[in-house]
Chain A
Amino acid sequence: MFGLNKKDAGLLIVVAILALAAPFILNPFPEGSAMAQFNAGYPDLMQRLVIFGIFAIGFNILFGLTGYLSFGHAAFLGVGSYAAIWMMKLLTMNVIPAIVVSIIIAGLFSLLVGFISLRRSGIYFSILTLAFAQMSYALAYSVLTPITGGETGLQPKYTDPRVLDKALEAGQQPRANLFGLEMNQGFQLEMGNWVFTFNAGYYIAAVVMLVAFYLSIRIFRSPFGMMLRAVKSNQQRMNYTGLNSKPYTLAAFVISGMYAGLAGGLLVAMDTQVGAERMFWTASGEVVLMTILGGAGTLIGPVLGAGFIKYMENIVSKINKSVLEQWFAFMPDGIEDVLVAIIYPFVGKGWHLTLGLLFMLVVIFLPGGLVEGGQRIGKMFRRRDANANSIEADAAEQRKPAAE
C-alpha cells in the first residue's frame, strides 16, 4: 500500500488506528473515579502528543539515521512558530498558510544553520547547533522584541491587518480555523461514566502526523536513507570511496528542520500563541530525550518517547499533595503520612526526578529504548521465531539494500 512493504504498511495502519482512536485509548478511566487523574484524553494534551511526535520523528531522521546529534532543534520549532503566528497576523487565521510557511521558513533557517554546523561532526557539531539555538533564543527574548514580542510572546489580535480575512470588531478574539472549522470545535461522547472528547484540532494534527510518519518511512526505506545510514556507520570510509557525504547530511538536517518547523506551526495552529522559551536549550534537550527514550533509529520509537514525556509532564506533574492524601486516605494515619512523604518528591513539581530515573533505567537496561522493551516482550511470546516478524527489525536490516 502507498509503496510500502507489508510490514511497514502494517505499522502505518497500527499508528493510524492508535491516532484516530486516541480519545478512547487515552481516557480509560471513568469520570469522577480516583484514577481519572491519569486520563490524558483531553484536546490540549492529545494535540501535544501528536505534535511533539512529529517533532521527534523529524529529529530521528537526522539523529537516528546519520548519527549527528543536534542540540538546537528547538530553534527550528520556534522559528516555525513565529512564522506561523505572523502568517496569522498578516494573512489569515486559516491554518494552511501558517503551517506551509512555517515549514518553509524553518527549512531555510535550518539550511543556514546546517550549512555552517555540518562543517564539523561529533561533539563540535552538537555544540555549534546548541550555540545557534541559544543565540536564537536570546535574540527572540530581547533584541528582536519588535518581531517576537520578547518575553510576552505573540498572539493574534483583532488589530492585526489580516489581509485575506474580514476585519474583526474591536476586542473580538481571532480564532485559528481550517476553512471555517475552528480548532477548538468538537463534541463529547458520553458512555455511562466515560466521557470521550473529540476535537477538530486534534484530528487535523493527527492526520498531519500520519502524513509525516508515512514520509519518514519512505525516507527510511529509500536509497537516500541508506546513504544516511552509511554516514552513521562510517563516514570516513564513504569519503574515501570518493563520495561527498555533505549534501546528504545537509539534506537530512534540512528535512528534520522542516519537520520541526511543521511541529512549531501546528503548535501555533492549535494554540495561537508563541513564547521565546520554546526555543530554550531545555526544549532542544527534550527532543533528544524523546528520541533516545523511545528508541533512536526506529520508526515508531520517537513517537512513543514524545508521548511518554508529554504524558509525564502534563499528568504526573499535576498530582499534588492533596491528591496523594486522597489516594491513601483509607490507610491508618501514620502509614498514610509515610507513603505520602515517600511518593511526594516524585510527583507534582518533582516529575523531572521520576522522568530522570526512568530515563536512566531505559538507557541502562534497554539501550534500544521503549521499542526494544516492546521487542523483548514480543520475543517472550514467540520464542522460536525471534526476529522474523518484529515490526522494528529494520534497524538490524541495514545491510540489505533498499528494494526499489
Chain B
Amino acid sequence: MSFSKLTRRGLIKTGAVASAGLALPTYLRADGHSGFTNAPQGDTVTLGFNVPQSGPYADEGADELRAFELAVEHLNGEGDGGMMQTFSSKVLEGNGIMGKKVNFVTGDTQTKSDAARASAKSMIEKDGAVMISGGSSSGVAVAVQALCQEAGVIFMAGLTHANDTTGKDKRANGFRHFFNSYMSGAALAPILSNEYGADRKAYHLTADYNWGYTTEEAVRSSTEALGWETVNAVKTPLTQTDFSAYIAPVLQSGADVLVLNHYGGNMVNSLTNAVQFGLRDKEVNGKKFEIVVPLYSELMARGAGQNIKGILGSQNWDWKLENELGSRYAGTNAFVQSFGTKYGFPPSQAAHTCYVQTLLYADAVTRAGSFNPCAVVEALAGFEFDGLGNGPTLYRADDHQCFKDVVVVRGKETPENEYDLVEIVEVTPAEQVTYAPDHPQFAGGSLGTCNAGA
C-alpha cells in the first residue's frame, strides 16, 4: 500500500480538487434567504402535523390527526366552524389564515425523538411548513421544539405533560396548551386528601423516563405537603407489559395508596395487574386500599375497561365539561358536535389540545398580521382568551405555558356507553395550579429570543 506516487500531473490534480473543496464552503456562505423561514408563497400556507402513527401512542396520534383535519376544515371555512364561533377572539373569518388557504402535511413521529425530528425536518425543508404541531410524548416534544427554534418556525406542542417542555427545555418558538405534571399534582392532592384522608402512605410505580420522573416528583411534593408519606417509589421499564412483579411488593410495604405514574399501554397494563391482584379489595392500616393515576385519558380508560372504575386522576379537558359544569367551558359542545358529526364519536383530550393549538396559531398570525414567527410569538405571549373549552385561559409570556382549570375525574361505576367512562369530580381553578415561572420543578432553562430563521 503506497501513497507516494508523486507525479507532476497527480500533484496538480490533487491540488485542484483540494482547493475546490476548500473554496466550496466560502461559496456556500452566500445566503439567498430573506425575511423568515418558509414565508408562505402564493395563496396557500402549509402547516405540518407531526403525530405518532405507529408505536405505543398511535391511538392518540390518530385522534390528534382527526382534530387537525377538522381544524383545517374550519379555518378554510368548511364545516360548521366549531370553536371559531365561541372563541373570544373574532379575527378568524373562515377564509384560511389571512386569506391564504391552509394546506397541511403529516408525518409519523413513531414516538422516537430521532424519527420525529427527521419527519419535522422534512416538513420544514421539503414541504415548506411554517408551523409544526402535534406529538404525544414529552421526549418528542422537547426534541422537536428545539429543532423548530433552530429552524425558525413555530412549534405548537400537542400532548406533552412533563414539566420540562415549558420548564428547563422551554423555547421562545414553542408553545404548550396542554397542562403539566405540576398542575396534575396540585389539582389532585387536595382532592386525594379529602377523599382518602391526610395520613396516607403512598407507593409510586413510575415509568422509567422523563415524564414519569417529573410526574412522580409533582405528585409526591403536592401530597407530602398535605401530610401524606411516600413509602417507596419504584421505576418500571417503559417496555414492561407485565407488572405483577412490581405489584406484589406493594402490599408488603405497608402502603395504602398506589400511585401509577404510567401512561398509555403501560397504565392499562399496570392498572389491570393491580386490580387483578385484588389490591382494591384490601384493607391496609385500617383503610381501604386506593389506586391513583395522575394523568388520565379517555383512550386509556377504554383500554383498561372495568378496572378503571372508581380510580381518580386528572385531565386537561373532558368532552362533558360544558354539559355538566355550564357555560364557563363554552366551546366544548361546539367542538364535540362538529367532531362527532364528522367522525361519529366524541374527541379525546389529545384531539382537543391539537385542535385548539391550531386555532390559536391561526388567530395569532391574523392578529399579528404576519406569518413571521417573531410576530406570532409576540401575539401569543401573554394572550388571554376564552371560549376554547377550558374557560378563561392565559398563555403566560414567561414560559409559553397555558394556565387554565384542571379537571379531576374518576372512573365511572356505571358507564352509559363506551365513551362515557369517566365522571368529573371537580374542576380545580387555574389560580390553584399556577406556579411561579422560577418554581424549582421548572427552573434551569430560558426561553431565549424568538428565531425567525433565515
A binding-site residues for B, Cβ under 8 Å: 1-3, 39, 42-45, 48, 138, 141-142, 150-153, 155, 157-159, 169-173, 175, 178, 181, 184-188, 197-200, 203-204, 207, 218, 222, 271-273, 275, 277-278, 314, 317-318, 320, 348-349, 404
Contact = CB atoms under 8 A, between A and B. Distances in A.
A314 B122 contact: yes
Q: Which 7 A-B pairs have the closest CB atoms?
A: A171-B448, A151-B209, A275-B113, A44-B121, A171-B446, A42-B125, A42-B126
Given A158-B446, A181-B28, A141 B238 contact: yes
Nearest to B450: A171
B401 to A, nearest CB: 16
Contacts of A273: 113-114, 117, 143, 146-147
B208 interface: yes
Contacts of B142: 152-153, 155
A169 B21 CA distance: 33
B8 interface: no
A173 B451 contact: yes
A318 B106 contact: yes
Contacts of A278: 114
A167 B106 CA distance: 38
Contact of B53 (A155, A184, A349): A349
Given A178-B25, A273-B113, A318 B3 contact: no
Contact of B30 (A187, A207, A222, A277): A187
Interface in B89-123: 105-108, 112-115, 117-119, 121-122
A218 B210 CA distance: 46
Contacts of B137: 151
A173 B146 contact: yes
Given A142-B237, A314-B122, A275 B209 contact: no
Contacts of B138: 152
B115 to A, nearest CB: 8
A277 B24 CA distance: 34
B53 A187 contact: no
8 contacts: A42-B121, A151-B209, A181-B28, A187-B32, A273-B117, A275-B114, A277-B114, A404-B1
Given A152-B139, A170-B448, A39 B113 contact: no
Contacts of B117: 271, 273
A102 B121 CA distance: 24
Nearest to A171: B448
A203 B210 CA distance: 36
Contacts of A404: 1-2
Interface string B204-246: 0000111100000000000000000000000101100000000
A171 B447 CA distance: 5
B256 interface: no
Given A152-B138, A153-B139, A173-B451, A45 B30 contact: no
B1 A181 contact: no
B11 to A, nearest CB: 12
Contact of A200 (B28, B151, B235): B28
B150 A203 contact: no
A302 B119 CA distance: 24
B18 to A, nearest CB: 11
B5 interface: yes
Contacts of B28: 181, 185-187, 198-200, 203
A287 to B, nearest CB: 15
Nearest to B146: A155
Contacts of A157: 445
Contacts of B321: none
A187 B27 CA distance: 9
Contacts of B445: 157
Interface in B1-18: 1-3, 5, 10, 13
B116 to A, nearest CB: 9
Given A44-B122, A171-B172, A197-B125, A185 B31 contact: yes
A311 to B, nearest CB: 12
B139 A3 contact: no
Contacts, number: 144
A152 B122 contact: no
Contacts of B125: 42-44, 197
Nearest to A157: B445
Contact of A271 (B1, B121, B210): B121
Nearest to A197: B125
Of B30, B113, B117, B444, most buried by chain A (CB within 10 Å of CB) is B113
B149 interface: yes
Nearest to A138: B237
B54 interface: yes
Nearest to A175: B150
Most chain A CB inside 10 Å of its own CB: which residue of B54, B139, B171: B139
A207 B23 CA distance: 13
B439 interface: no
Nearest to B145: A155
A175 B122 CA distance: 19
B341 interface: no
Nearest to B236: A142
Given A171-B447, A320-B106, A349 B54 contact: yes
A3 to B, nearest CB: 5
Given A2-B3, A218-B1, A277 B113 contact: yes
A48 B118 contact: yes
Contacts of B147: 271, 273
Contacts of B54: 349
Given A151-B238, A275-B112, 10 more contacts: A44-B122, A141-B208, A142-B208, A151-B210, A185-B31, A187-B30, A273-B113, A317-B108, A320-B106, A349-B54
Contacts of A198: 28
Most chain B beta-carbon neighbours within 10 Å: one of A155, A188, A278: A155
B342 to A, nearest CB: 15
Contact of A181 (B25, B106, B211, B237): B25
Nearest to B32: A187
A42 B122 contact: yes
Interface-centre pick from B54, B121, B138, B142 (highest chain A CB count, 10 A): B121
Contacts of A171: 172, 446-449
B139 to A, nearest CB: 4
Interface in B230-271: 235, 237-238
B290 interface: no
B164 interface: yes
A218 B31 CA distance: 38
A273 B114 CA distance: 8
B68 to A, nearest CB: 12
Contacts of A1: 10, 13
Contacts of A203: 24-25, 28
A318 to B, nearest CB: 6
A184 B118 contact: no
Nearest to A155: B146
Contacts of B211: 151
Contacts of B451: 173
Nearest to B4: A3
Interface in B421-454: 444-449, 451
Nearest to B106: A320
Contacts of A200: 25, 28-29
Contacts of A317: 107-108
B318 interface: no
A172 B448 contact: yes
A273 B147 CA distance: 9
B113 A3 contact: no
Contacts of A172: 448-449
A48 B208 CA distance: 30
